[in-house]
Amino acid sequence: MCYGTLVCEQVSYLLQKMSSRCHPNCQRAAAAKEEDDSAERAATVAANLISTARVILKLDREFTEYSAQFLVDNALVEKVPSQGPQRSTCKVEDCLEYLVNMASPKTEAELREMEKQQQRRSKITVKDCLECAFKEGIPRYEHWAHLGCVSPVPPFASLIPRVPVKGEVIEAKELKDAFELLEHGPVGAKLHVFSPEIDLVGENGVYRGPSSNGTSYVGLRDVILVAAEKIKGEAVGTVKIRYKKKTSFMNVSLSQMFTRLAQSGDESQTIEPTGLLVDFIVLRLSQ
């Protein structure tokens, strides 16, 4: 479901019903990319941490999926104080006006705004998404557009009910500190990803990073560390990762270290000796 479809549903039910169909613009955009962008990956991890924390604290009776796309749409957005009374209803005319605007050619001002939003998205982190949820709340997955929706957020989206999120974000750099955080629930982290190793791990294998001269460094990917144990004497963490638009669980070595030297004189590519998992983050909700 995307905003274009969402608006059509609003004409009859004012956001009370959702369609599983997706707008053609979203279908084309999804087909054109191999992987979710960095904002979508960060938001997916943040939304999952919220869902898990709420069920652990019994704020939800069962695991409830919350909207990652809402976090993509709202994280790092500078809110402009509204002028006049706040919108309290959505009329058919509002829906029709939105659909007309969607179908109309983009103005130069709208294109500049789209570029500005892309720059905002490129900076979004898991922490930014969690802090957004603290400020704005978060709707359930089925009450917002799907992840990757390219339609603009309609003005009347503010009427969609949201679940309040209160708490704090705790960050840790060291793996030993992450172990302590893991006692209270899953921990967000970043994983150094190398190809083709990431594609060859398999369900029962252990990801150990670079293995040969043919290795290519893909970059950091947001993951969730859900467990740690010893497998044949090796410390291994189980992580939940979304890679190439697929979500899976994977075993990652917690003892493997690597380094990466600058290529072509570009010092920014240098990576000091480090483990595969770095930059740990956990959500502590208050009841």
Report the Cα–Cα distance between both ends of the chain, in Å, rounded: 31
> For residue 89, what are the contacts with CB-CB under 8 A and spacing of at least 6?
14, 159
CA separation, residue 284 to residues 91, 189, 197, 228, 258 (Å): 39, 15, 33, 20, 31
**Mind listing the pLDDT tens digit for each residue in 157-188?**
888 899 999 999 999 989 999 999 898 889 99
Is residue 249 over pLDDT 90?
yes
Rounded-to-integer distance, Cα 12 and Cα 20, Å: 16
- Give the number of C-alpha atoms closer than 13 A to the C-alpha of residue 49, restricted to the C-beta side: 37
pLDDT score of 243: 92
pLDDT score of 269: 64
Is residue 252 over pLDDT 50?
yes
Is residue 34 over pLDDT 80?
no
Residue ranges of the chain that CATH labels 3.90.70.10: 168-285
CA separation, residue 131 to residues 25, 136, 166, 210, 265 (Å): 30, 9, 9, 34, 37
pLDDT score of 78: 83
Residues making up the chain, counted from first to last: 287
Tokens of 14: 């004012």
**Angle, in degrees to the nearest 10, between helices 3-13 and 92-103:** 160
- DSSP conformational letter for 244: T
* More confident: 58 or 19: 58
* Least confident among 32-36, 163-167, 216-220: 32-36
In CATH, the architecture of 168-285 is: Alpha-Beta Complex (3.90)
CA separation, residue 211 to residues 139, 235, 256, 257, 271 (Å): 42, 18, 11, 12, 16
Residue 76 near residue 151, CB atoms below 8 Å? no
Rounded-to-integer distance, Cα 278 and Cα 191, Å: 7
* More confident: 240 or 30: 240
List of long-range contacts for 50-53, beta carbons under 8 Å, 24+ apart: 50/130, 50/133, 50/138, 50/165, 50/283, 50/285, 52/185, 52/186, 53/167, 53/185, 53/283, 53/284, 53/285
**Mind listing the pLDDT tens digit for each residue in 46-69?**
999 999 999 999 999 999 999 999
- Give the residue-averaged pLDDT of 253-278: 79
User: Please, which pLDDT band fits residue 17 given cuts at 50, 70 and 90?
Assistant: very low
- Give the residue-averaged pLDDT of 256-282: 80
- Give the number of C-alpha atoms closer than 13 A to the C-alpha of residue 268, restricted to the C-beta side: 1
Rounded-to-integer distance, Cα 167 and Cα 144, Å: 23
